[in-house]
C-alpha cells in the first residue's frame, strides 16, 4: 500500500472501494465498438447518505434529471454508470431508458429504484441501449468486490488515456476513516458545478445535508477550478456517498476541518488528473490569482485565463507570451488595474506596474515554459482574495481527437 504522510491523513490505494462498506466492478456490455469496458456498478449494501452536484448547462442528459430528483438522500444503495453513450438530447425515450437501467440495477442489488443513482457519458444524441445494460447487470452484480474500484474507474472512461483514482485515510477523534474516489474526463471540461463524472465514497457517518455541504465546498476549490477546452458538459455529475460503516462521526469542529481538508485533497487529486489527461495535452498549468478584492473577482480573472485559447496555445508552444495572460485578465470584466498587477512565471517576474520587465524573452522564461508543469501567478494588487485554477495546453492532437470523435 502506497502511503504519503500529510498533516492528518495519508494517501492509500483502492479508489472508490478504499472506504469500508462499498463493492464495485466494471465490465463490457457491448456499448463501445472496441469491446472495452463500458458498464460500472457500485454497491453500498448497508445504504449510504448521498449528495450530488450536477451540470448547470440548460441541456441536460436523462441521468442528470434522475439524479437531481433523488438527491440529497439517505439509503442510497448503488451507482450505475455507462460509458459510450451520453443519453443526452434523447427526450422521453431517453428518460424511459435511464429509468429502465436504474430499475434493472435495483433488482440485482435488492433495493428500490429510487436508491440507485445513474450516470452516462459518451456521444450526445445516441439512444441508450438499455437492454444491453440491463442484460449485463446480473453479471456485474456477481463480480462486485472490495477490490473492484479500479475496474469501476476504468469502465467509465471515454477519451481518457488513464483511470483517475485517489484515496486517503484520515484520523478523527472517534477513529480512522477513509475517503476514496474516481473520475473521468479528458475533453468537454469547463465545469460549472463539478466535472464530467466523479464518484466519491467515505465510511464516516454523514447526514445527507452534511454530505451536500462538504461536497459543495470541496468542488468549489477543485472541480470548479479546472478547464481543458472551455466546454461544460450536458452530463456533468459528482456524487458523494457515505456508508457510515466505521461508526465514526464528525464530532467536533476539528474533525470537520480534518475531514473537509481530506475530501478537498481527494477531489483536488482527481481534478488535476483530469486536466493532466486532457485530450492532446502535453502540459499542466497551475494558475494562481491573488491580490483580489473579492472571491468573485479572482474567480472571474482565473476563469478567463484558463479558458483562453491563446493562453493555452502559448503553453503548447512554450512561448512566455505574458501579454495573452494579462489580456485575458483584462477582458474578464473584473475591474483589474494594470498599474497594480504583477505577473510571475514561477519566480520570474514578467509584468509589473503596468509594464513588461523584459524577462518574458529570456532563456529562463523559455526553460520554465518548456517544463511539463508550469506555474503562473497573477497578483492583482487590490486586496487579499486568492484562488487557484488548473488548465492544460491546446495542441494539434486536441483538434484531431475531437474532429474524429464520432468516427
Query: What is the arrangement of strands in the sheet containing 373-379, beginning at the earlier edge strand?
Result: 226-227, 385-392, 284-292, 373-379, 342-345, 348-352, 355-356
* Residue 35 CB neighbours (<10 A): 9
Give residue-wise pLDDT tens across range 66-122. 999 999 999 999 999 999 999 999 999 999 999 999 999 999 999 999 999 999 999
Give residue-wise pLDDT tens across range 107-152. 999 999 999 999 999 999 999 999 999 999 999 999 999 999 999 9
Query: Do the Cβ atoms of 181 and 196 come closer than 8 Å?
Result: no
| Integer Cα distance of 393 and 310 in angstroms | 10
Give residue-wise pLDDT tens across range 251-277. 999 999 999 999 999 999 999 999 999
Average pLDDT over all residues of the chain? 94
Query: What percentage of the chain reaches a pLDDT higher than 90?
Result: 88
| Residues 348 and 371 both lie in one domain | yes
DSSP code string of 355-373: EE-SGGGSHHHHHHHTSSE
| Residues 380 and 330 both lie in one domain | yes
Strands 355-356 and 348-352, bridge-based pairing: antiparallel
Residue in this structure with the C-alpha cell 483536488, named with its chain if needed: 268
Three cell numbers at 178? 477513509
Task: Specify if 219 maps to a domain.
Answer: yes
With 70 as the cut, is the pLDDT of residue 193 above it? no
| Residues 214 and 104 both lie in one domain | yes
Which residues make beta-bridge pairs with 237? 54, 197
Question: How many structural domains are present in the chain?
Answer: 2
Query: Do the Cβ atoms of 156 and 126 come closer than 8 Å?
Result: no
| Integer Cα distance of 403 and 407 in angstroms | 8
pLDDT for res 5: 42
pLDDT band of residue 194 (cuts 50, 70, 90) is low
The whole domain housing 193 covers: 9-276
* Residue 99 CB neighbours (<10 A): 16
With 60 as the cut, is the pLDDT of residue 1 above it? no
pLDDT band of residue 191 (cuts 50, 70, 90) is low
CATH number at residue 213: 3.60.70.12
Q: Which residue among 224, 253, 276 closes a domain?
A: 276
Those residues with Cβ within 8 angstroms of residue 90's Cβ, 6 or more apart along the chain or in another chain: 61, 62, 97, 125, 126, 127, 128
Q: Where are the beta strands (DSSP E) in 55-173?
A: 73-85, 116-123, 164-172
Higher pLDDT, 358 or 403: 358
* Residue 356 CB neighbours (<10 A): 15
Residue in this structure with the C-alpha cell 485517489, named with its chain if needed: 166
* Catalytic positions: 195
Task: Specify if 144 maps to a domain.
Answer: yes
Q: What is the largest CA-CA distance in the chain?
A: 67
Query: Do the Cβ atoms of 320 and 360 come closer than 8 Å?
Result: yes
First to last CA, the chain: 40
Query: Do the Cβ atoms of 64 and 237 come closer than 8 Å?
Result: yes
Task: Specify if 2 maps to a domain.
Answer: no
For the whole model, what pTM was predicted?
A: 0.92
Give residue-wise pLDDT tens across range 382-396. 999 999 999 999 999
| Residues 266 and 313 both lie in one domain | no
pLDDT band of residue 2 (cuts 50, 70, 90) is very low
Q: Which residue among 276, 302, 332 closes a domain?
A: 276
Centroid of chain to Cα 369: 26
With 70 as the cut, is the pLDDT of residue 322 above it? yes
pLDDT for res 4: 43
Amino acid at each position: 500500500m502506497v502511503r504519503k504522510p500529510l498533516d492528518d491523513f495519508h494517501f492509500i490505494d483502492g479508489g472508490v472501494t478504499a472506504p469500508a462498506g462499498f463493492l464495485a466492478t466494471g465490465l463490457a456490455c457491448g456499448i463501445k465498438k472496441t469491446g472495452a469496458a463500458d458498464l460500472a456498478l457500485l454497491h453500498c449494501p448497508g445504504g449510504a447518505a448521498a449528495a450530488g452536484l450536477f451540470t448547470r448547462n440548460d441541456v441536460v442528459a436523462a441521468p442528470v434529471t434522475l439524479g437531481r430528483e433523488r438527491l440529497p438522500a439517505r439509503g442510497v444503495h448503488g451507482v450505475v454508470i455507462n460509458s459510450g453513450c451520453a443519453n443526452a438530447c434523447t427526450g422521453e425515450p431517453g428518460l424511459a431508458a435511464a429509468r429502465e437501467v436504474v430499475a434493472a440495477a435495483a433488482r440485482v442489488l435488492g433495493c428500490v429504484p429510487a436508491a440507485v443513482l445513474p450516470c452516462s457519458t459518451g456521444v450526445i444524441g445516441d439512444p441508450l441501449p438499455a437492454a444491453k445494460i440491463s442484460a449485463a447487470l446480473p453479471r456485474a452484480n456477481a463480480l462486485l468486490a472490495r477490490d473492484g474500484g479500479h475496474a469501476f474507474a476504468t469502465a467509465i472512461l471515454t477519451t481518457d488515456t488513464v483511470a483517475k483514482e485517489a484515496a486517503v485515510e484520515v484520523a478523527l477523534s472517534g477513529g480512522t476513516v477513509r475517503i476514496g474516489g474516481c473520475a473521468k474526463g479528458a475533453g468537454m471540461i469547463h465545469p460549472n458545478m463539478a466535472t464530467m463524472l466523479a464518484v466519491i465514497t467515505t465510511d464516516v457517518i454523514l447526514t445527507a445535508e452534511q454530505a451536500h455541504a462538504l461536497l459543495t465546498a470541496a468542488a468549489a476549490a477543485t472541480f470548479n477550478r479546472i478547464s481543458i477546452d472551455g466546454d461544460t458538459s450536458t452530463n456533468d455529475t459528482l456524487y458523494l456517498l457515505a456508508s457510515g460503516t466505521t461508526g465514526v462521526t464528525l464530532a467536533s469542529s476539528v474533525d470537520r476541518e480534518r475531514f473537509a481538508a481530506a475530501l478537498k485533497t481527494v477531489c483536488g487529486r482527481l481534478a488535476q488528473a483530469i486536466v493532466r489527461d486532457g485530450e492532446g495535452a502535453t502540459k499542466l498549468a497551475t494558475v494562481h490569482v491573488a491580490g483580489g478584492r473579492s472571491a468573485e473577482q479572482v474567480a472571474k480573472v482565473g476563469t478567463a485565463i484558463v479558458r483562453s485559447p491563446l493562453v493555452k496555445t502559448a503553453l503548447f508552444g512554450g512561448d512566455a507570451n505574458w501579454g495573452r495572460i494579462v489580456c485575458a485578465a483584462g477582458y474578464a470584466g473584473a475591474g483589474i488595474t494594470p498599474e497594480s498587477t504583477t505577473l510571475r512565471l514561477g519566480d520570474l517576474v514578467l509584468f509589473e506596474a503596468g509594464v513588461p520587465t523584459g524577462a518574458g524573452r529570456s532563456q529562463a522564461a523559455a526553460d520554465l515554459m518548456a517544463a511539463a508543469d508550469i506555474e503562473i501567478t497573477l497578483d492583482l494588487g487590490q486586496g487579499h482574495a486568492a484562488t487557484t485554477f488548473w488548465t492544460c495546453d491546446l495542441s494539434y492532437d486536441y483538434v484531431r481527437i475531437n474532429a474524429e470523435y464520432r468516427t
